[in-house]
Structures are given as structure tokens and as C-alpha cells.
Amino acid sequence: MPKNTLLNLSDISSLLKVNGEEFDKLLASAKQLRDEKLGNQIYLRGLIEFSNVCSKDCYYCGIRKSNKQVQRYNVSDDEVLASCRLAFDNGLGSVVLQSGECSSPAFVTRVDRLLKKIKQLSGNRLGITLSCGEQSPETYRRWFESGAHRYLLRIETSNRDLYYKIHPNDKKHSFEHRLEALYYLKYTGYQTGSGVMIGLPFQTTEHLAGDLLFFKNIDIDMCGMGPYVEHENTPLEGCRHLLRPKKERFELALKMIAVLRLMMYDINIAASTALDAIDVFGRVKAVAAGANVVMPNITPAKYRSNYLLYENKPIGNNDVLADIALLEQRIKVIGNEIGYNQWGDAKHFFKKNER
Ligand code: SAH
Ligand code: SF4
């Protein structure tokens, strides 16, 4: 299996098409490279989906603005802080604050306040990743200065034509603006993560190979990518008949993770929650394919059924610690262990800044 970083579009497309024994070999060599270069520790981030209020209308997403069936919520500051305390006390090392996209001054100020309080409650020791969509350069800077050090913003697809098949073609959903946002994040100083959905209608293997080259070209530090999963109250529901079977989307997602690991050995790759919507062992299988980050959901249980980005999204256990214990057991079975009490930053970020 090629362990070099110079794969071209056609090499990558071929790797994304392997099956059977070749598939197993690809995944195993990605895991081996991860273990060799990064060690066998897997990092956890406690994921808090703190608001499902969203001003956008992405065609694939269950909490899009126009879905009137969703009950909108904001987790209170106290509840967010209680979840962070739980993460900190149980050695999770860091949290991810995720939400719909909102850029009102009240929202920006609220996130800023939360960042400062999270830093305070943990004596600066809890790492914080944000995933709150596109914001102005000023907002990105303000949040960075208040303690966020990693930011996830998926490009969703790096192919402009496909992008506009899955988003409205208007100012609010501009492909160029999303690209620009990724650059702002990087130049603000964040460890910057991106990602795509895998198995979208109209998406070809070559589009996906292009996505991996895109990540390499913009030199991401982190990646979160997972299968596209349908949601009945979205415009893409009408394209259900065009989709690859779920199992195929799932396996393609594992191949994407494995090939990216071979291309960028020292970045952080998350095992996305959407994998678990297709296979109960989804995230662990992603770890066995080269991912090194898992994000247990620590959102207060009463809100979770209103953050259904796609169907079958796991609502998890009321008992977050039981979920984590189960995850730990499964991770041990594949020969890895959890790196407790660490931020688990992307090695890639520090290496390139040394140059
Ligand atoms: N609003 C922010 C963050 C929350 S959405 C943003 O959009 O960046 C987080 C991610 O959920 C999105 O980036 C998208 O890739 C994923 N997502 C949304 N709908 C999905 C679906 N139907 N299937 C799989 N992933 C989905
Ligand atoms: Fe909003 Fe993000 Fe869903 Fe798009 S993907 S509708 S921005 S929550």
C-alpha cells in the first residue's frame, strides 16, 4: 500500500474503489501508519450541540432554517458549563461547541462569554474546539483570543458545481465565502479542520478524490468527514433514489479516512457520529481505519432529539459516562487506548509552524 504523500487524482480514485482483501489492507495500513507516527492513543472531545437555531438552508440538513418541525433550543450557559465540568472531571481533555449558524451580535457575545467561562472553570486546562459555521474575521479573532484554539468548518464538497446542488445558490450559501472563511481561520491561528459528506447525490468517486487533494492543498490540520445520511424534511429527500446504498457510503467513508491518513499522516482525523447512524460500531471502525479522535456527545439529553441533522442520528445514553466506558472498551479491542487529560492537538499544526 502506498505510504507516500504524493498520490494523484487517479491513484486516489483507484484506492477509493478497492474492495475485499484490498479494502482490508488499505484500512490496516492506515491504522498502522497512525499508530507508528502518532502513537496508539485516541483523543476524546466532549461534543456539546449548544444551539440548533440556524439561519441557513443547506439542502441536506435536518435543522435547516425552513424545517418548521424542529423545536428550536439554546442550551443555557449553566447547562453548557455543567457539561464542560463533567468533561473536565472525567479527563476528556477538551470539548467541541457546535451549533447552527448564527452571527447576531448576541450570539457572538454569548459564545465569547462561554469560552471565557469554560477557561475559567478549568483553570485554562480544557481545550476548546468551535464549530459554529461561517463568521466574520473579527468574530473568529475575538473567539480565538477568548480561548478557542481549534475550529471545524467542513467545506462539504470541494467541487463548486456539486456545492450548489446541495446548497441554495445565494449570498448566504456562497462557496467562495466558505473557502474564504477557512483561510481566515487558518490565518487567525486556529488549528483548522474541514471535511466533506460522503455519498451525496450526484457525487462521484472522482469528486471525493478531489476533496482529499483539496485538504492536502489547503493544508488542513484536522478533518471530520462522514457519510451523508438522508433526512425526510429536507430538499435532498427527493434524491433518495440516486444514492449509493448505505453500506457502500459507509465503506467509502472508511476508505476516505484511510487514504487521507496515508496522505497526511500527522493530522487529526475524527471518527464522525454519522458513521454510527449506519453501523453501531461505525466510529470504532473508523479508528481502525486511521482516525484518531472521537467526540462523545455530552449535550444534555433533553435537547438531543432536536439536533437531528439526519435520520437515525444516535441520541446516546442519558448516562454520558456509560457511553464513554463502552467506547473505551471497544477501542481497547482494536488495540488502542484513550488519551485522557490531554488536548490532543494536531501534530501537523506544530510541525508546519516550526518550518
Ligand atoms: N452549522 C455548522 C455546524 C453544524 S452542522 C456548519 O454547518 O458548519 C455540522 C455538520 O453536519 C455539517 O458540516 C454537515 O457536514 C453535517 N451534516 C448536516 N446534515 C447532514 C446529513 N444529512 N448527513 C450527514 N452529515 C450532515
Ligand atoms: Fe445550518 Fe450547519 Fe445545518 Fe447548514 S449544515 S443548515 S449551516 S446547521
Cβ–ligand 1 contact at 231 (below 6 Å) = yes
Q: Which among 52, 107, 150, 154 is the best mutation to test ligand 1's pocket, defined by most ligand atoms within 8 Å of the CB?
A: 154
Question: In a 3-state reduction of DSSP, which class is residue 130?
Answer: strand
What would the pLDDT profile of 300-327 be if each residue is shown by its tens digit?
Answer: 999 999 999 999 998 877 788 999 999 9
Q: What span, in angstroms and rounded, lies between the C-alpha atoms of 262 and 260?
A: 5
Q: Which of 59, 64, 102 to mutate to test the pocket of ligand 2 (most atoms within 8 A of CB)?
A: 64
Read off the C-alpha cell for 226: 462522514
Residue 298 contacts residue 279 (beta carbons within 8 Å): no
Q: Is the CB of 313 under 6 A from ligand 1?
A: no
At 1, the pLDDT band (50, 70, 90 cuts) reads low
Determine the distance from the C-alpha atom of residue 278 to the mean position of all C-alpha atoms in its chain, rounded to a whole number: 16
Residue 170: burial class (beta carbons within 10 Å; 0-12, 13-18, 19+): exposed
Contact predicate 106/128, CB 8 Å? no
Nearest to 84 by CA among 51, 123, 110: 123
As beta bridge partners, residue 179 has: none
Q: How confident is the prediction for the chain on average, in pLDDT?
A: 96
Residue nearest to atom 11 of ligand 1 (CA): 309
Nearest Cα neighbor of 276 from 211, 335, 327 is: 327
Task: Kindly tell me if the per-residue pLDDT of 355 is higher than 90.
Answer: no
For a mutational test of ligand 2's pocket, the pick from 50, 73, 101, 236, i.e. the residue with the most ligand atoms closer than 8 A to its C-beta, is 101
Q: Please give the distance, rounded to the nearest whole angstrom, from the Cα atom of residue 61 to the centre of ligand 2.
A: 6
Cβ atoms < 10 Å from Cβ of 270: 27
Instruction: Answer whether residue 7 shows pLDDT above 90.
Output: yes
What's the gap in Å between 19 CA and the centre of ligand 1? 28
- At residue 5, the pLDDT reads 58
Pick left, alpha or beta for residue 87 (phi over 0 → left; psi -120 to 50 → alpha; otherwise beta).
Answer: alpha
Starting from the CA of residue 154, give the closest ligand. Answer: 1
- The predicted structure's pLDDT at residue 318: 74
**Per-residue pLDDT tens over the stretch 92-151:** 999 999 999 999 999 999 999 999 999 999 999 999 999 999 999 999 999 999 999 999
Position 205 scores a pLDDT of 98
Contacts of 81 (CB under 8 A, 6+ apart): 114, 117, 118, 121
> Cβ(61) to ligand 1 under 6 A?
yes
Supply the pLDDT for residue 63.
Answer: 98
CA of 354 to the centre of ligand 1 (A): 33
Q: Which residue minimizes the CA distance to atom 8 of ligand 2? A: 100
Q: Quick one: pLDDT at residue 131?
A: 98
Please indicate whether residue 98, judged by its CB atom, sits closer than 6 Å to ligand 1: yes
Cell (9 digits) for 243:
444514492
Query: What is the C-alpha to C-alpha distance for residues 316 and 301, in angstroms, rounded to an integer?
Result: 8
